[in-house]
Amino acid sequence: AMEDVSAKFVSQKISRTRWRPPPAAALQPPDVFATGSWDNEDNRISLWSADDLGNVGLNGEYHGEPHLLCDIQHNGDVMDMQFLDQERIVVASSTGTVTIFRHHQNNQTLSANHRWERAHYHVDQDTPCGGAACTGVVCNNPEIVTVGEDGRINLFRADQKDAVRTIDNADSSTLHAVTFLRTTEILTVNSIGQLKIWDLRQQRNEPSQIFSLAGDRVPLHCVDRHPNQQHIVATGGQDGMLSIWDIRQGTMPVSLLNAHEAEMWEVHFHPSNPDHLFTCSEDGSLWHWDASTNVSEKPSFLHQGGRSTTYLSHNTINQSVVSAWLSNDPTKDRMEITNLIPNQTLSVNSLDVLGPCLVYGTDAEAIYVNRQLFA
């Protein structure tokens, strides 16, 4: 199974990896991805082509590795990154600045298209060293939402110089990640184990709902919303646990699943096949969670190649829900979990999935592409 994966050593610690969204009508797998780096003397935003990786030789072996299309220097660590559209990437920096980079496909260059200097700051926006890390960014073109260490939420528009809206004291703790629930609502996670929903139509600077992990206030690092069922949300945090939430009911997660042995850095539902979910961790693992039905009828390929497979039972509070993530119908009570990188030792900081393709980046200064996720 591991021979499906091509690696590229890049002499940079990779903090973010993102597939470029395909054109609306495209049926072919994604071919370009972006990476951002951190903790290097010279951090970079890079664009890579993976399009020749699908060429299989006579003996079924893979050819090639991702090749660099273009790159550009980035000031500070890349904390988060999202494509706004096919040409523009929004990047969050540890300096507090948010930058839109544009990819010029005719001559394969990247340029800084727009910058919001010190969108996040601790003391005063004009103090030279007062920047606070921008920890998370999410786009719904032309809108861009950023969150930061300063507990601030900004709403930007790609074509406007100033913020459309800023919620200055949105949180008294660090906001670590943000996602859109729907076009007018966002969801944030923070360093004391809380999820908060914000309705951007409301002028008041208070969340419309607050959810929290019971007991220990474990910092939450990442969040993703189920692509079809907007009430289902997954989060991961410092203890490596995966939490599944139903925001229609209660204020606590419906499932807590034992996962990684260290911080979970990212969680992603597969955008078109959301019974599959992917998580990556500081412990060097990347897990594929398969909650689709009929685990017993799965092809045996999942058990080969030194991958570890575990079955977990999970119980939930509400029985009327049909989603695999919330169901406690006994026949669906098993979930198959596969560690896609059994022997990795350094942190897997980021992953992205699109179609049959997975890309992930690590502190081992390498990026990896798997073009046959569901082989």
CATH number at residue 359: 2.130.10.10
Q: State how far the Cα of 69 lies from the Cα of 35, in Å rounded to an integer.
A: 12
Average pLDDT, the chain: 86
Residue 299 lies in a domain: no
Answer yes or no: are the C-beta atoms of 38 and 365 closer than 8 Å: no
Report the Cα–Cα distance between both ends of the chain, in Å, rounded.
Answer: 9
Q: What is the tally of helices (H) and strands (E) in the chain?
A: 0, 29
Is position 242 within any domain? yes
Q: Are 168 and 205 in contact (CB under 8 A)?
A: yes
d(CA 323, CA 344): 32
Output 5 or 24, whichever has higher pLDDT: 5
Query: Who has greater pLDDT, 8 or 3?
Result: 8
> Residues 187-214: what's their mean pLDDT?
93
Q: Tell me whether residue 165 is in a domain.
A: yes
Residue 280: domain span: 5-56+66-293+321-370
Q: Is residue 81 part of a domain?
A: yes
What integer pLDDT is reported at residue 328 of this predicted model?
Answer: 52
In the prediction, which pLDDT does 59 show? 55
Cβ atoms 50, 68 nearer than 8 A = no
307 domain residue, yes or no: no
Tell me the C-alpha distance between 243 and 229, whole Å.
16
User: By three-state DSSP, how is residue 234 classified?
Assistant: strand
C-alpha closest to that of 221 among 181, 296, 280: 280
CB atoms within 10 A of CB 75: 14
Burial 145-161 (b: 16+ CB within 10 A, else e): bbbbbbbbbbbbebeee
- Per the DSSP assignment, residues forming a β-bridge with 366 are 9
Q: What is the mean pLDDT of residues 344-367?
A: 95
Whether the per-residue pLDDT at 307 is higher than 50: the answer is: no
Tell whether 298 is covered by a domain. Answer: no
| Of the candidate ranges 107-111, 270-274, 280-284, 328-332, the one whose mean pLDDT is the lowest | 328-332
pLDDT band at 311 (very low <50, low <70, confident <90, very high): very low
Which segment of 42-46, 260-264, 310-314, 347-351 scores lowest on mean pLDDT?
Answer: 310-314
CA–centroid distance for 357 within its chain: 15
Structure tokens at 345: 């030792």
Q: How many domains in the chain?
A: 1
Largest Cα–Cα distance of the chain, in whole Å?
A: 63
**Is 0.85 topped by the overall pTM?**
yes
The Cα 43–Cα 163 span in angstroms is 26
- pLDDT of 319 > 50? The answer is no
Of 168, 170, 164, 169, nearest in space to 184 by CA: 164
Q: Which of 260, 257, 323 is nearest to 292 (CA)?
A: 323
State yes or no: pLDDT of 22 exceeds 50: yes
Least confident of 256-270, 288-302, 315-329: 315-329
The amino acid sitting at 64 is G
In a domain, 313, yes or no: no
Within-domain flag for 203: yes
Segment 138-159 shows an average pLDDT of 96
Model pLDDT for residues 274-304, shown as the tens digit of each residue: 999 999 999 999 999 998 865 444 433 333 3
Judged by average pLDDT, the poorest of 159-163, 237-241, 315-319 is 315-319
Q: What is the predicted pLDDT for the residue at 195?
A: 96
Mean pLDDT for the stretch of residues 83-105: 97
pLDDT over 80 (residue 231): yes
